[in-house]
Structure 1
Amino acid sequence: MITHCSTIVEQSEAMIMSAQLSLADQITLELRADIIGGRLLPGMPLVENDLVSTYNASRNTIREALHRLGQEGLARYVRNKGVMVRRLGRDEVRDLFQVRRTLELQAIALSKPLREYQSDRMLESIEAAELAREREDWRALGTHSLAFHQHIVGLMRSPLFDEFFTNIVAQLRLVFCAAPDEQRFQAPWLARDRYIHDRLVEGDKQAAGEAMSLYLDDSEQMLLDFLSRPSHH
């Protein structure tokens, strides 16, 4: 009965939080979720008229949402074209991975033995990524792998870091989408995610941290390599 009551309280709190969000906030969150899910790709136009219709919102509300998306580094205004989903370059990739190293390696270094629910969340992301691999849905695999890394940062139990890192994940998704061969890019990381999870379950933070550090080095280098190709200049 106590569990049931606490669930009701949590649901009530979620509803209150949702009610506190303005419509512009909610639209911004939905657009960001569409970027993370790979439904909005770099260079896609964010057409004001379409968004007004989709969200049944005023132009001012849509403009506010697009402005916020721009502040988050996910959209930019292009002269004569309007607002578009942002393309990221090599400098942005280096900056994103500097943030990733700071947060993900710190999260592992400071982590306590994994609780069952923490392990379960990571495994859910890994198993969803494995199903995506079987379907050869490489975009979904990337989204689930990013969710695994959100759970890594979640080990710090900081809502501020969680919110900040969700934005980092959205920007990473925009970089991943630019990969000329998503299968080649996404395929190597799944086994590494599982290895990191297994070391954390064992309480071997050093091995998990070393594996994560190498993972981030390799991922960054692969992204920088394909962004160096002439077609991306």
Structure 2
Amino acid sequence: MTADASDLATGLSELAADRALLSRTSTAERVAAILRGRIAQGLFRPGVRLSEERIGGALGVSRNTLRESFRLLTHERLLVHRLNRGTFVRVLDVSDIHDIYRVRRLVECAALRGLGEPPYRLDEVRAAVEAGEQAAEKGDWQELGTANIRFHQAIAGLADSLRADDMMRGVLAELRLAFHVMADPRRFYEPYLSRNREILNTLDAGDAAAAERMLGFYLEDSRRQLIEAYPDEPESAGRR
């Protein structure tokens, strides 16, 4: 079994567990939310072709519902449809990475800048940091990556904006597609775990301005590291 086939099989198994989240009145938006979440967890790799029959069977939804969810995720730049070939998980290029980080700085740093007076509500941020530390203790680097995504979603959530939350869910899921290029996920994710804790501790101390500065340097370091690792010509199947 190839690596892509193995990844798809794992993803389908996880989707079967998600079936319980859907009811007979489930909508394409709910299916899209599940698939978006699984992409953000790294279960579907860039360039993988998504089988309507197998995914629809795993979730127990009609082909029409699944196709509509695919269209929603294509609009979010997570999937791409190829005529007579099917739907694929999108492969990002370097310009995508630059743009994603531009949006992240606009949203995440602004969320910290607008916090106002402490104390701040940091339960979600704290839970994400602790989940990352637990994943590192177990040596589960994929789960550490997922916890890191949760951390940044929680940082954006401090803006208390449903629109910002929705946008960041898509942006961070798209970013997870780029992380697959990192040959050594531990080397990529582990250094940022201590920086997540440092940002949390700084927010706990009530210094949002310092936390924002730290986050700005953090995002720039992450962007540079990812760009340096990114191939000049990613595989074409899941390109725009």
TM-score range, shorter chain: 0.7 to 0.9
Instruction: Please give the alpha-carbon distance, in whole angstroms, between the structure 2 residues aligned to 1:83 and 1:76.
Output: 6
Which residue among 37, 41, 51 is the counterpart of 1:37? 41
Instruction: Give ranges in structure 2 of 5+ residues lacking alignment.
Output: 1-21
Instruction: Give ranges in structure 1 of 5+ residues lacking alignment.
Output: 1-17
Q: Secondary structure at the match of 2:228?
A: helix
Higher relative contact order (CA 8 A, sep 6+): 2
Question: RMSD between aligned alpha carbons?
Answer: 2.0
State the match for 1:128 in structure 2. Answer: 131
Which residue among 98, 105, 108 is the counterpart of 1:101? 105
Instruction: Please give the alpha-carbon distance, in whole angstroms, between the structure 1 residues aligned to 2:233 and 2:186.
Output: 21
> 2:175 aligned with 1:172, yes or no?
yes
Higher helix share: 1
Instruction: Please give the alpha-carbon distance, in whole angstroms, between the structure 2 residues aligned to 1:111 and 1:33.
Output: 27
Contact kept, 8 Å, 1:113 with 1:200, in 2: the verdict is: no
> 2:215 aligned with 1:216, yes or no?
no
Instruction: Please give the alpha-carbon distance, in whole angstroms, between the structure 2 residues aligned to 1:113 and 1:199.
Output: 14
> 2:190 aligned with 1:187, yes or no?
yes
Change (3 A) 1:229 1:137: farther
TM-score (norm. length: structure 1): 0.85
1:29-80 deviations in Å (ceiling 9; x for gaps): 1101111112112122210111221222222111111111101111012345
Change (3 A) 1:42 1:230: closer
Q: Secondary structure at the match of 2:77?
A: coil
Which residue among 63, 68, 85 is the counterpart of 1:64? 68
Change (3 A) 1:165 1:231: closer
State the match for 1:85 in structure 2. Answer: 89
- Amino acid across the alignment from 2:199: I
State the match for 2:228 in structure 1. Answer: 225
Contact kept, 8 Å, 2:91 with 2:234, in 1: the verdict is: no
- Amino acid across the alignment from 2:226: L
State the match for 1:48 in structure 2. Answer: 52
Q: Secondary structure at the match of 2:182?
A: coil
Change (3 A) 1:22 1:94: same
TM-score (norm. length: structure 2): 0.83
Pairwise CA distance, 1:230:
6.8
Change (3 A) 1:203 1:159: same
Count of matched residue pairs: 214
User: Which structure has the bigger radius of gyration?
Assistant: 1
Which residue among 146, 159, 163 is the counterpart of 2:162? 159
Decide which moves more: 155-164 or 220-229.
220-229
